[in-house]
Amino acid sequence: ASGRIHTSAVTVAVLAEPEDLDLQINPQDLKIDVFRSSGPGGQSVNKLESAVRITHIPTGTIVVCQDEKSQAKNKKKAMRVLKARILDNIRKEQAKKIAKDRKSQVGTGDRSEKIRTYNFPDRRVTDHRIGFTLHKLDRVMEGEIDEVFDALLQAERKLKLGQGK
């Protein structure tokens, strides 16, 4: 209340929520090899081709399983591991994309990147990108933002026409 104006900067990012993934693997995308296990297990390990190697061709992901004595059990286990690895990679890619989108929307948050100013004492809204000022802050705060959007759309059209698009 000493007559000073308080100034704050806010960054806002609007992001889509990552999809819930239900991964369906096409059997034609798999190369399945069976071979004899190695390690402890006695004669059955040396005689039977119970170990399984599954390669997911599109991603190059390879899973080997030889924990069980049964080829069927090893194959089932290898498929679970393969699916988990592929899902993990997809989620990591989604997280990277979200981080990139967020960074492009938020920037550094520095005051020099300001887009819009809401000046309450003057009841003014200014969009600094296009140099548009509107003296109807109370109505804008109530959701009447068509004039601001119309000015932005007009500036975008003008820019595209200037670039020959």
Residue 131 backbone zone (phi > 0: left; psi -120 to 50: alpha; other: beta): left
Q: Per-residue pLDDT averaged across 111-138, rounded?
A: 90
Residue 125 included in any domain: yes
What is the residue range of 133's domain? 114-163
Confidence of residue 6 (pLDDT cuts 50, 70, 90): confident
Rg (CA), the chain: 29
Q: Same domain, yes or no, for 43 and 85?
A: yes
Which pLDDT does position 21 carry in this prediction?
Answer: 72
Residue 127 included in any domain: yes
Q: Same domain, yes or no, for 98 and 153?
A: no
**H-state helical runs in the chain:** 43-47, 71-106, 137-141, 146-163
pLDDT in tens, 32-77: 999 887 766 555 555 678 899 999 999 999 999 998 888 999 999 9
Number of domain units in the chain: 2
Q: Same domain, yes or no, for 154 and 102?
A: no
